[in-house]
Structure 1
Amino acid sequence: MRFASLGLLLLTLSSCSKDSEGAGGDHMTATDVGDALDERAIERGILPDLNNLVFAGRFETRSELGTDKFCAVDNGSGTYKIGVLAVFGPESKCEGQGSAKIEGEKVQITLAGKGNCSFDAEYDGVELRFPGGVGEECESYCTSRASLSGTSYFMVEEGDDGARRALGRDIERLCD
């Protein structure tokens, strides 16, 4: 019985790498089939359209330490006013405001006010991920034992109005 299941699995996997014939007699590769499935998922709203990402909004990630927050307000010139709060307990956090520019899935983040802090993050239409190392220049935005490195935020509410509702700790409204 195990060998039959293994054989079926291998047969299925091998068929993924071979060409298959489409409805119109065209040959479709596994990549073509995957692209077609992605298109249908985008049309139905299951996957975000990477060519038309909505970045303005309120993002959050909840943990036992607190709620991390990120917000972005579109300023109409291709950049966004942003705010961020990464929580590491009642007294430990990173918090700041600045600007962002989005190009495809790359987001250029710049925090201003406590020093030069700039880095590239990734955004897939649902989750915003900061890199594993944001650099020492960003430490001025954090208390001891806190860092923006490796934090992530999920879109919870689209639009500028939602972004303006994001509350900080020392900064009353992260995106005012």
Structure 2
Amino acid sequence: MRRSSLTLFLLLFACQRPPAEQASSPVAPGGAASRLEQAAIASGAIADPAKISPVGLFQRSHEAGRDALCVIPARNGDLHFGLEAIFGEEPACRGRGTARRAGDKLILSFKGGDRCIIVAQYDGDQVSLPGVVDLACADLCEGRGSLEGVSFPRIANDAASALRARDRSGDPLCAG
């Protein structure tokens, strides 16, 4: 009886302790998914987001309106963008400027007075603006509109589609 109790205790104790290799090299949160994603990229199962150009059209329609972002290449190798977020009959935000890629970020520098700059998340399939944007960006919006938290899913990955995109008034969203 004593021997089986000792064996049971040792088995329970062994289940409680991590293996030696896990104890010496802790995995950061999300590390397993990161390794899985890297393996999928290496095998070609999914595309590497770092290699997907942001050029194209990103757009989402919803009950209050439509959010659209176009990104086109410029002659000098830079990227230009135009965006419009519509929140009903009147409130809307719109702007144009230059974009720059920095890892999984897309830095949007708006043309205009207060130098609004937004650092958006870019994963190859979507551009997501942060939940808080600089006060300098308030001039881009009318009424109670705001660019905070707006996201733009990709619908086309070519400059021609981006150039065909129109804003609410029918003008080109991206100027060529």
Q: Which TM class, normalised by the smaller chain length?
A: 0.7 to 0.9
Please list, as runs of the form range in 1=range in 2, the aligned pairs for 1:44-63 lying within 5 A after superposition.
44=44, 46=46, 48-63=47-62
- For 1:97, the aligned partner's letter is R
Look up the match of 1:155: 154
Q: Tell me the SS of whatever aligns to 2:84.
A: strand
Look up the match of 2:135: 136
Counterparts in 2 of 1:41 and 1:175: CA distance versus 1, 3 Å: same
Count of residues paired in the alignment:
153
Look up the match of 1:174: 173
Q: Deviations over 1:25-61 (max 9, x none)?
A: xxxx995796355433565454x31331220000011
Counterparts in 2 of 1:116 and 1:36: CA distance versus 1, 3 Å: closer
Distance (Å, rounded) in 2 between the aligned partners of 1:43 and 1:77 = 34
Please list, as runs of the form range in 1=range in 2, the aligned pairs for 1:1-176 lying within 5 A after superposition.
35=35, 38-40=38-40, 43-44=43-44, 46=46, 48-75=47-74, 77-170=76-169, 172-176=171-175
Runs of 4+ in structure 1 deviating by more than 2 angstroms, as ranges, are 29-46, 76-79
1:88 Cα offset (Å): 0.5
TM-score normalised by the chain length of structure 2: 0.74
Look up the match of 2:10: none
Counting strand residues as a fraction of each chain, which structure ranks higher? 1
Cα RMSD of the aligned pairs, angstroms, is: 2.8
Q: Tell me the SS of whatever aligns to 2:83.
A: strand
Q: Deviations over 1:118-172 (max 9, x none)?
A: 1211100011011111111111111010011110001100011111111112571
Structure showing greater radius of gyration is 2
Counterparts in 2 of 1:88 and 1:76: CA distance versus 1, 3 Å: same
Q: Check whether the contact 2:50–2:124 (CA below 8 A) recurs between aligned residues.
A: no
Distance (Å, rounded) in 1 between the aligned partners of 2:33 and 2:147 = 39
Q: Check whether the contact 2:59–2:66 (CA below 8 A) recurs between aligned residues.
A: yes
Counterparts in 2 of 1:125 and 1:45: CA distance versus 1, 3 Å: farther
Taking only the aligned residue pairs, the percentage that are identical comes to: 28
- The answer for unaligned runs of 5 or more in structure 2 is 1-14
Counterparts in 2 of 1:111 and 1:44: CA distance versus 1, 3 Å: same
Distance (Å, rounded) in 1 between the aligned partners of 2:69 and 2:33 = 36
Distance (Å, rounded) in 2 between the aligned partners of 1:33 and 1:149 = 28
